[in-house]
Structure 1
Amino acid sequence: MSAPTVSVCIPAYQAGRHLADTVRSVLGQTFGDFELVVLDNASTDETPDILAAFDDPRLRVLRNEAVLPIADNWNRAVASSTGRFVKVVCADDLLHPDCLRRQYEVLATDPSIALVCARRDMINETGEVMAPNRGLRGLIGRHEAGTVIRKVVRHGGNPLGEPGGGLFRRAQFDAVGGFDPRWKFPMDLALWIGLLGHGDFFGQRESLAAFRIGRDSLSARAQRAEYAEQRALSEGLATDPGWHVRPLDRLVGAAMAPGARLRRQALFLVAKRQGERN
């Protein structure tokens, strides 16, 4: 049997609450030539039972004997995949039915594009849309990598979005070393930056994924640590001579960063209050 064209990888840990919905959103894609690899990171909740209930030849379930650190777990999920193109989806996020098809069409027709990302909806724990069509401001369409890096520095946060919104080439993922364990919160953005060293960026106007804002998620607990890591990553880009970031970009980013942090915190606060009412 030949390898699938696209691999969707879901690293799952204690993911029982939303995992079934996430898996169904992947298996419901209009694009047919894909595999779904779910790596259970030694969960002790109902995660194994939920996965065992699915009967679909496109789904492969793997399990770690002991809990791995986040980056190691995510990298193992991708290493276990066989597709030429890869998408990593967090175990509580969702994909639009046309997500794989629309993103595959971009990468498959232009080898000079290293990363395609789509806008996404921000949803709460019950799946209600809190903020539609978020992200990629000023980044719709094709952009040279250096332009995107300067946008990242000026944004003060992550303007490209979470893993579920992106699709990339496995060979380039391997070339940059995968997810960098030195980063915890901006691990996805660090990967996007590494991939942009291999080609251009394409931003899709449509919302093709949904990022779930949960009370107990890693992002919800980030707070100051996330902000500090984000600033350190941005400063590293600003001082890297290879990206030609201007002093003005660096100043704008420093000014914008607190606002980006507050906007994100506000969404998590609203989600927490909505969750407490349900």
Structure 2
Amino acid sequence: MPQPAVTVLMPVHNGERYLKEAIESILAQNFVDFEFLVIDDGSTDRSHQIAGSYGDPRIVLVANAENRGTVHVLNQGIALASGRYIARMDADDISLPDRLERQVRFMDEHPEVGVSGTGMRLIKNGKLRNIRTHAASDPELKIQLLFSPCFFHPTVIIRAELAKAQPYPGNLVYTQDYNYWTKLAPLTSFANLREVLLHFREHEGQISARKADMQVSNSRTLRADYLKRLISVASDEQLAIHHAIAENRTDINLPDAESWLRHLMEINRQTGVFSNEEFEREMSRRWWHCCKNNRKHGKKVAELYASSPLCRYYRPDFSKYLKFKLRHLIPL
């Protein structure tokens, strides 16, 4: 049997509610040269029966006798995958029909890129909601990792050769994607397609809802470790400011946040760890979000924002900026 271009890797554990829709979104892809590796991780509901009810020969169904956890299943799937690329899929999401076609074409045309993702649109309470995208270029994505994951995990496609040589780390569970991207960042180039190729479902049963506290704690550990690539030593107070910025907190001390972001810019100018132009833009964008999300400074927020040199490098959407100024009653 010839090697397929793509292995679509989908772990499932007690996912019967949305599984049929997820599977059929892959079977309906315009791109047909794939194997669909579905790993049932010890489900006790009808997940196995649903996945096994299809007669499509591209489906490869593997059943684990007991629940081993997401990281184990992802690495199990990577070891079993026979495709040149491995595309992630979750059992409660929907891939749009041209997802694989667009992603495979992009990876074929950009051999330097080891991992890429796409934009996505949220499904909440059964309805399509807002669109979410990440930055597109490698320098921007590596800088974004200083604050948060740079891919939407279910949208990712990765070169199988890279994944097999560098499987998911087994530590810091519930943040396996952030952990993985920080591990791969020095090893390959990243990219994102800005177009929406997946609908991501939000619901109470997700790990992100059930393990939120652990996710926050583990993300802080990863963030602090990745930050060391730019700044070797950061105090507890500095890390607290950095985490507050990354988490989009609404109780940020804005002068402290501005001082920290300017400090990071100065260090990057000296060390050249990241592309300076992209780094300045990202610090400026973070400053905008700090001010936009924080109201405790009252009418002074817009003044604080505009008086900082940080506002030079990123321009928010005009309608959002207008709303921001009107909210704080600052004359235009």
Measured against the shorter chain, the TM-score band is 0.7 to 0.9
In the TM superposition, what whole-angstrom CA distance separates every residue of 1:159-189 from its partner, at most 9, and x where no partner exists? 4222x2111101111222x121202222012
1:69–1:229: structure 2 CA closer, same or farther, 3 Å change rule?
Answer: same
Give 1:158's aligned residue. Answer: 149
Over 3 Å counting, the alpha-carbon distance change for 1:9 and 1:245 in structure 2 is farther
Partner of residue 13, structure 2: 13
Contact 2:148–2:246 under 8 Å retained in 1: yes
Tell me the secondary structure at the aligned position of residue 185 of structure 2: helix
Map of 2:129 onto structure 1: 130
How far apart, CA to CA, are the structure 2 residues paired with 1:171 and 1:23? Answer: 25
Report what 1:268 is aligned to.
none
Q: What does 1:1-278 correspond to in 2, within 5 Å?
A: 1-126=1-126, 128-132=127-131, 134-136=132-134, 139-140=135-136, 142-144=137-139, 147-153=140-146, 156-162=147-153, 164-176=154-166, 178-240=167-229, 244=230, 253-259=242-248
| Structure 1 residue 117 displacement after superposition | 1.0
- Say if 1:152 and 1:46 are closer, same or farther in 2 by CA, change over 3 A: same
Figure out how many residues of one structure are paired with residues of the other and give that number.
Answer: 249
2:122 is paired with a residue whose SS is strand
Q: 2 CA distance for matches of 1:110 and 1:69?
A: 33
Q: CA deviation at 1:199?
A: 2.0
Gaps in structure 1 of 5+ consecutive residues: 264-278
Whole-angstrom distance in 2 between the partners of 1:84 and 1:261? 44
* Matched letter for residue 7 of structure 2: S
Cα distance in structure 2, aligned partners of 1:91 and 1:196: 27
Cα distance in 2 for residues equivalent to 1:157 and 1:239: 15
Give the root-mean-square deviation of aligned CA atoms: 2.4
Take 1:252 and 1:114, find their aligned partners in 2: how far apart are those partners? 32
- Say which SS state the counterpart of residue 37 (structure 1) adopts: strand
Distance in 1 (alpha carbons) for counterparts of 2:250 and 2:82: 37
Q: Percent identity?
A: 23
1:121 aligned partner, one-letter code: R
Residue type at the aligned position of 1:150: I
Shift of 1:255: 3.4
Aligned partner of residue 205 in structure 1, secondary structure: strand
For 2:220 and 2:102, how far apart are their aligned partners in 1? Answer: 32
Aligned partners of 1:227 and 1:261 also within 8 Å: no
Output the CA distance in 1 between the equivalents of 2:108 and 2:231: 30
Q: 1:260, CA displacement in angstroms?
A: 6.8
Q: Contact 2:25 / 2:94 at 8 angstroms: preserved in 1?
A: yes
The 1:252/1:167 distance shift into structure 2, 3 A limit, reads farther
1:276: which partner in 2?
none
1:103 counterpart SS class: helix
Q: Which structure would you say has the larger Rg?
A: 2
Amino acid at match of 2:68: L
| Conserved 8 A contact 2:6-2:34 | yes
TM-score of the superposed pair, with normalisation by structure 2: 0.69
Kindly indicate whether structure 1 or structure 2 has the higher relative contact order, using CA contacts under 8 Å at least 6 residues apart. Answer: 1
After TM superposition, the score normalised by the length of structure 1 is 0.82
Give 1:106 shift: 1.4
Distance (Å, rounded) in 1 between the aligned partners of 2:59 and 2:102:
21
Distance 1:187 1:27, change over 3 A: same
Q: Distance in 1 between matches of 2:214 and 2:239?
A: 20
Q: CA–CA distance in 2 between the matches of 1:123 and 1:27? A: 20
